[in-house]
Structure 1
């Protein structure tokens, strides 16, 4: 009998001891002392620019900042030179999940259905400075357009930041004012808004592949063209054109695009890291691009006659055209909203 009682007591002690050891830890009870480690992620970011372009260099800077600020938890692999496709390919990749990010101009956004309001960012002869364009894009009134576009397209803009070369004009005749566009055969981008603008000025827009443009200018198929200073230098257009006009007629801002599906899975901390890096790397893009533009312009001034046209006369001539685009290329009333922001 005594042995039986002793055995029962021993078993009870063992059960109590086991129960104490299996009780929840203080961390499990409160659930607040430690949070689970953030899962490491690697993002695929593409550009269509070559390795030496400010866009690609800014993308590498972005990757460095992200990795440093996330303590290595977020890595960004850079794919320059269209190695993962052109702009439309990368947009599609962000929708399907094969591409995570892209760094290219905000002017590309309206290529996607659901982002047509961003046509206004490449409005010819409208934007007087990069700062004006950024002021509008950063404004509180413009943020709903970014949200609507992200929901409609599956592609979000984290931040639109980073100056790039504006489009200029070279020709074999001097262009001082709106009247000088009359009859000018000008090679333009294959863009409805650009071609309508040139026609409104009395010019004759022609579409010629960039690779064929040098010979077209040399042979007189076109009298003029409208690429930026860096492109004019790199393509040696100064050899077949006599005048360079600083029109800055189409401006652009670089934008950090990201898959909306991916963005929705990120924590607030991860989103903050990407946003902060996009601002710093975008400012780096601006610095590099402006240095290159200045170098190219100085060279062109030695090779061509430099002219600063009367842009006020051009804008006055185009005012009816400006108004006709409202409600056609972007939602009605957006032009007035933008002008209000600029006047603030």
Structure 2
């Protein structure tokens, strides 16, 4: 009898030890993003790695794959859905690119959000929470944290001061190949064209187009101020970098692990925002010396665009979502 109890006790201790070892087993998180290694997104990813590995005391190891090494946003989302990738750090706009995430195209509507604070207020609201949950279930991807401001898009022109909605009429402008951007520009009376970025400088210089809609950092780094006279501070599309994980992987984690990961994403996202703000300041300092900077009447532009995207109500996002965004300004 005594031997039986001793054997049972040893068995319990062995099994308990295995469970304890399993609970502390290191987990490798591969994280992909599309930015180069000098971009705030990559530096924020490194910060995430530093904080998570430190706070978890070795429980997690983060391996970062920058510069689209694992593909673009759609490819990386697909890898998470098949269990071949543990994390992605990319724009909330891009979540709309996969089936089940269509509602998030609302984040890419031109001139809709007045600030990053306005955008976060909407995305983190009780109103939008069920939309997030529905999208997570439909895609199998968890939105861990929407945090990390990127540079907003602006507008430059060669010789036209764009101050109100009427000033867009007839403007030959190179735009991103986005249906919402094209629709906005056409509604404003502009003449949007798609030109590869590698050809943009010469297209502006030779007058193929007279304007473009990249933000101030791109204007500075690509020297577009050499062939453009005005920078119009529209900040008309914003994006917030977001940490994503496979939903089933997230649900398997303990509450403690989830909290540790979330804390690291919060620190990293805040760091990206800080870095972006510094880059924006430096770029504005340069551009303001090279170009005339104009702050347009955004209200007139927003009024002109009212109703332009109503066709998506109830199909891509819930009916009344655009109204709710405007109410939260």
TM-score, with length taken from structure 1: 0.89
Counterpart CA distance in 1 for 2:199 and 2:79 is: 30
Task: Provide Cα deviations, 1:228-278, integer angstroms capped at 9, x if missing partner.
Answer: 111111111111111100001011111101122322322221111111111
Counterpart of 2:209 in structure 1 is 222
Match of 1:275 among 239, 262, 267: 262
Structure 2: distance between partners of 1:55 and 1:242:
30
Kindly indicate whether residue 165 of structure 2 is the aligned counterpart of residue 178 of structure 1: yes
Contact 2:170 2:190 in 1 (8 A): yes
1:17 is displaced (CA, Å) by 4.2
Match of 1:305 in 2: 292
Q: Which residue of 2 aligns with 1:19?
A: 4
Change (3 A) 1:23 1:148: same
Equivalent residues in 2 for 1:1-344, closer than 5 Å: 16-24=1-9, 35-36=20-21, 37-172=23-158, 173-340=160-327, 342=328
The Cα shift of 1:65 comes to 0.8
| CA deviation string 1:150-199 (max 9, x = no partner) | 11112221010111100000011111111110000111111111100000
1: distance between equivalents of 2:105 and 2:119? 12
* Greater shift in the superposed pair: 325-334 or 315-324: 325-334
**1:4 aligns to what?**
none
Q: Which runs of 5+ in 2 are unaligned?
A: none
Distance 2:30 2:12 in 1: 36
Larger radius of gyration: 1
Q: Distance in 1 between matches of 2:291 and 2:138?
A: 46
Of residues 125-134 and 95-104 in structure 1, the stretch that sits farther from structure 2 once superposed is: 95-104
Q: Distance in 2 between matches of 1:82 and 1:127?
A: 28
- Using the TM superposition, give the Cα deviation of residue 322 of structure 1 relative to its aligned residue in structure 2, in angstroms: 4.3
After TM superposition, the structure 1 stretch with the greater mean CA deviation from structure 2, 213-222 or 17-26, is: 17-26
Checking the alignment, whether the CA contact within 8 Å between 2:29 and 2:63 is kept in structure 1 is yes
Cα shift readout 1:24-66 (whole Å, capped 9, x = no counterpart): 36976xx8xx955322111110111111110000001001111
Distance in 2, matches of 1:250 and 1:20, equals 70
Shift of 1:326: 2.5
CA RMSD between the two structures: 2.1
Per the TM alignment, residue 297 of structure 1 is displaced from its structure 2 partner at its CA by: 0.9
Q: Distance in 1 between matches of 2:33 and 2:4?
A: 60
Once residues 256 and 155 of structure 2 are traced to their aligned partners in structure 1, the CA distance between those partners, rounded to angstroms, is 45
TM-score, normalised via structure 2 length: 0.93
Q: Per-residue CA shift, 1:200-241, capped at 9, x if unaligned?
A: 000011111111111111111111100111111111111111
Task: Output one character per residue of 1:297-338: Cα deviation in whole Å (capped at 9) or x when no partner.
Answer: 110011111111111111111112144443354232222333
Query: What CA deviation, in whole Å up to 9, does each residue of 1:79-116 have, x standing for no partner?
Result: 11111111121111111222211111101010011111
